[in-house]
Amino acid sequence: MITALDHVQLAAPPGSEERLRAYYVDVLGMTEVPKPPELARRGGCWFRAGAVRLHLGIEEDFRAARKAHPGLRVTG
């Protein structure tokens, strides 16, 4: 049986890592988690805040999803 959701994986366009960090770290206060070396070569970023884990992977032919999104609950 499933007991928990480990993480959410979202796609991001090439070269967007600094914008991702600016939003998820600077605005939302998440912590960047180092990716394993074999995955780090692909680009992207991993973040966490408490039990919430968010993985953003780079897709060369990225197209923004029209409805898909993470629902993050925040305070303030």
Domains of the chain: 8-58 (3.10.180.10)
Sole residue written with tokens 């480990």: 6
Closest CA to 22 of 56, 50, 51, 53: 56
User: What is the percentage of the chain residues whose pLDDT exceeds 70?
Assistant: 100
Q: Are strands 52-58 and 45-49 parallel, antiparallel or unpaired?
A: antiparallel
List, for residues 24-56, the tens digit of each pLDDT value. Answer: 999 999 999 999 999 999 999 999 999 999 999
Residue owning tokens 């991001």? 12
- State the pTM of this model: 0.87
Q: What is the pLDDT at residue 20? A: 97
Locus of tokens 């959410």: 8
